[in-house]
Chains A and B, each alone.
Chain A
Amino acid sequence: MNDPITHSLSHLDLNTKDETFLDSNELIINMGPQHPATHGVLRVILKLDGEKVLGTECVIGYLHRGVEKIAEHRTYTMFNPYVDRMDYVAAVSNGLGYCQAVETLMNVEAPPRAKYIRVILTELNRLASHQLWLGTHALDIGAITPLFYTFRDREEILKIFEKYCGARLTTHAFRIGGCLYETYDGFEREVKKFLTFVAPKIDEYEELLTTNRIWVERTRGVGYISAEDCIALGVTGPVLRASGVRWDLRKAQPYAAYSDFDFDIPIGENGDTYDRYLVRMAEMRQSLRIIQQAVDGIPEGPIMAKIPKVIKPPVGEIYHSIEAPKGELGYFIVSDGSTQPYRLRVRPPSFINLQALDQMVKGQMIADVVAVIGTLDIVLGEVDR
């Protein structure tokens, strides 16, 4: 027990010895870092009483690359691609948050057309992220078919990304001050085609799961978290909204062109896994609404603001956050007036949402741990950075 990692797990009482001959109730098992359900390299130490979970401890850092430190040695422009590697299933959102943070620090604003393109791509990316979440979450709970359906449809989004900027996953779609690329010919038409294609597909996912008895039994009442606890832990995104808090940065502090669009913030009531599922499904539909409006109303004009060749923001600090698919994604940048950030700090939604895991699974069963990890929708690249 001299392992520094396990040694620190004081609340799990790993050091107590088996006192009695028949003391067999408590079992400590190690889930991950290589485990099919931990979505990457998350290690969860579970203390079990039979099937019941007495406590958990997350061990993270297996994917730590020191993104924040790297930022201090890169210029603002050079650092832009790095943010894509944090939440790699929602790279566009990461880029948007970073670009907007630097823009606010520099006091420039992207032109309207760029803002619309940003909204379209970010919402497409939200859809893709939610689709990936749905597939893997369902797979964790044992339904293997939705995964293939969602991946089939996510592919169409990735094709649009590929056509727009050449990359599918780590897109690096935006630049500080706007967008680098003009939309390709037929972009609007293809996005519209995609919208009519994907709307019935979302119904198809729901058909498989929403009223499926086993699915409802596996998710309803599982991983409950109250609105107060969510706020106390700083949990954001669909998890917070499923607990009944109407908090969405797209409405609360509109950025890009979100104030132009008409959309709802779906919220849940019970704060359990089923509500989080419903909220995310509703969010997919809202994303479609936003994209539809954005494509219909996309203005003409430049896509890049007037920014200097060498980006040197004035001395100062800025915290700017956006509503990423997983919650509030914030960038805190301290500038010393040079070409490189003095300090850059990321507030990743996955990392903070993961804090709720212990509270959500305590007293539940092993199978629920898997369901809750799925419903938190964490990406380890973002947790470890």
Chain B
Amino acid sequence: MNPVATPFFFYLLSTLAILGGVMVIVRRNAVHSAIALIVTLLSVAGLYLMLYAPFVAGVQIIVYAGGIMVLFLFVIMLVNIDRSMKERAFNKQWWIAIAAAVALGALFVSVFVKSKGLFPERGLPLAEESNTQQIGLYLYGNYMFAFEIASLLLLVAIIGAVVMAKKRI
């Protein structure tokens, strides 16, 4: 099937993602920030779909929007919001932040301009097999070692979290 109104959805999703990102830092209420972050994550999932990466989009929804954000909200809900609203936001170093943002933006633009010849104009041809299968083959084939290392790291993190959180085991 041919994609419908591709540019429209691209701009819609990108705008939503950026708006959500801005809201995350602007809002004082942490729960509102978290909701804005969910909007961003979902828009990014939509962008993945437009890039013919449905598996990544699905995982983005399950892991980030469904799992991690719930845990975020879980923690934020326990914070005394009234109190945090009164606290000064961490904006003492705003000029350093602006400098960093400008530098990062410049870097992106320069990469984009200089690499014009590196990326194909029309986009890569689509793979014959499904996206999910490709990812599976790469993860458990070529990048097996890195994958296992990553899982080991996560295990260490889990154990660390348990040790730190539990008063006595």
Contacts and interface: CB of A to CB of B under 8 A. Distances in A.
A18 B83 CA distance: 10
A18 B80 CA distance: 9
A184 interface: no
B89 interface: no
B33 to A, nearest CB: 16
Contacts of B83: 18, 21
B82 to A, nearest CB: 10
Nearest to A23: B80
Nearest to B84: A21
Interface in B73-105: 78-80, 83-84, 87
B45 to A, nearest CB: 31
Q: How large is the interface on A (under 10, 10 to 19, 20 to 34, 35 or more residues)?
A: under 10
A24 interface: yes
Nearest to B83: A21
A71 B87 CA distance: 60
A279 B84 CA distance: 52
Contacts of A25: 78
A17 to B, nearest CB: 10
Contacts, number: 14
A23 B79 CA distance: 7
A24 B87 contact: no
Interface of A is mostly: loop
B85 to A, nearest CB: 12
A166 B80 CA distance: 58
Contacts of B87: 21
Interface string A163-187: 0000000000000000000000000
A294 to B, nearest CB: 57
Q: In the complex, which of the residues A18, A24, A25 has the most CB atoms of chain B within 10 Å of its own CB atom? A: A24
Contacts of A23: 80
Interface string A11-34: 000000010011111000000000
B89 to A, nearest CB: 13
A287 B80 CA distance: 55
Contacts of A18: 80, 83
A30 B84 CA distance: 25
A21 B90 CA distance: 14
A353 to B, nearest CB: 34
B110 to A, nearest CB: 41
A21 B84 CA distance: 7
Nearest to A27: B78
A197 B69 CA distance: 57
A116 B29 CA distance: 71
Nearest to B78: A24
A199 B135 CA distance: 65
A367 to B, nearest CB: 19
Nearest to A50: B78
A18 B84 CA distance: 12
A22 B77 CA distance: 10
Interface of B: 78-80, 83-84, 87
Given A21-B80, A25-B78, 12 more contacts: A18-B80, A18-B83, A21-B79, A21-B83, A21-B84, A21-B87, A22-B78, A22-B79, A23-B80, A24-B78, A24-B79, A24-B80
8 contacts: A18-B80, A18-B83, A21-B79, A21-B84, A22-B78, A23-B80, A24-B80, A25-B78
